[in-house]
Amino acid sequence: MITEPVSPIATGLPVDSQKTRDEGPEFDFAHPEVAAREAELREAAAGLKAVCEKWSDPPSDKEGWERLRSDLEAVMPGFYARYDGYVTSVLRTGKTVPACTRGCSHCCSHYVESVEPYELLFLHGRLRGGPAYPSRVVAMHRRVALFGSLRRESDGELAEDRALYRYYLRNMPCPMLGADGACGAYASRPMSCRMFFSMSKPDLCKGRAVIDPANRNFLIELPEDIEADLARAGSALSGYGLSESLFAGLVEVNGAFGQFDAGT
Ligand code: SF4
Ligand code: SF4
């Protein structure tokens, strides 16, 4: 249960610019309020895991697809509420307030990774059918293709990090980002977006400034047992074969199950 100073969305910096700090901002994880929120999150994670284990075989028809969606709708909003409750309680114990505010969105130009399959299935369910959905799918395809080409151009041990950094410099905001700089999928955005903060001024999250040593991006990680339960929940859905990348994963859900949405 630590905070780690990281390059944005976990990776994305070239090797010679990796941060070398060993510790992130200090928070009091033993605070009673944090412990209470942690217990709530633990319970919610266990409930989510049970749903994922129930659906380890992907649905094969429209009815099954709708039941899966319904089960995820029953647990995911509560899970995210408890996730946010935990993160907020941790942040409140810090001496410094993060710089992040509504409308600040440089970090939404990253190629978001580490997204769990239950998050992709839930988010896709929330996005489908909306008027912006077709254009968002096209925009996600473009981003997947761009990242793929950048990944092929990069080689060596840190090829993935280099590709993520080069992608970020292209400044292609997430298709869910609204014109007002706020997330258009805020209530259903993945954990990767919910855990990422900065203690430095927002300008240091922008473009090449992100590798400035003064940049103070950090993640708030979860207690190990909760992380383990969430990993088991994700593993239960491994048969769906979904990418861990936000855009690639959503494109894959659309391709594999989109036919069940026809006519809805
Ligand atoms: S300060 Fe940085 S991490 Fe925080 S919302 Fe703004 S761009 Fe994102
Ligand atoms: S899902 Fe929302 S918070 Fe996450 S990158 Fe996209 S616009 Fe930003």
144 neighbors 209 (Cβ within 8 angstroms)? no
Instruction: Please report the pLDDT score of residue 264 as a whole number.
Output: 52
Give distance in angstroms: CA of 91 to centre of ligand 1: 15
Give distance in angstroms: CA of 219 to centre of ligand 2: 15
Q: Is 46 in the pocket of ligand 2 (CB under 6 A)?
A: no
Q: What pLDDT digit, counting tens, does each position of 76-135 carry? A: 999 999 999 999 999 999 888 899 999 999 999 999 999 999 999 999 999 998 889 999
Q: Is 3 in the pocket of ligand 1 (CB under 6 A)?
A: no
Instruction: Please report the pLDDT score of residue 161 as a whole number.
Output: 86
Range of the domain at 218: 3-261
Going by C-alpha positions, the residue among 148, 167, 162, 198 that lies closest to residue 18 is 162
112 neighbors 190 (Cβ within 8 angstroms)? yes
Residue 136 phi, psi (nearest 5): -65, -40
Q: Is 183 in the pocket of ligand 1 (CB under 6 A)?
A: no
Burial of 122 (0-12, 13-18, 19+ CB in 10 A): buried
Q: How many residues does this entry show for the chain?
A: 264
Instruction: State how far the Cα of 13 lies from the Cα of 164, in Å rounded to an integer.
Output: 7
Which of these ranges, 9-23, 91-105, 177-191, has the smallest mean pLDDT? 9-23
DSSP, collapsed to helix, strand or coil, labels residue 177 as: strand
233 neighbors 116 (Cβ within 8 angstroms)? yes
Alpha helices in 12-132 (DSSP H): 32-54, 62-92, 117-127
Number of domains in the chain: 1
Query: What atom in ligand 1 is closest to the CA of residue 201?
Result: 1
**Residue that the structure tokens 């944005």 belong to:** 8
Tokens of 223: 């207690």
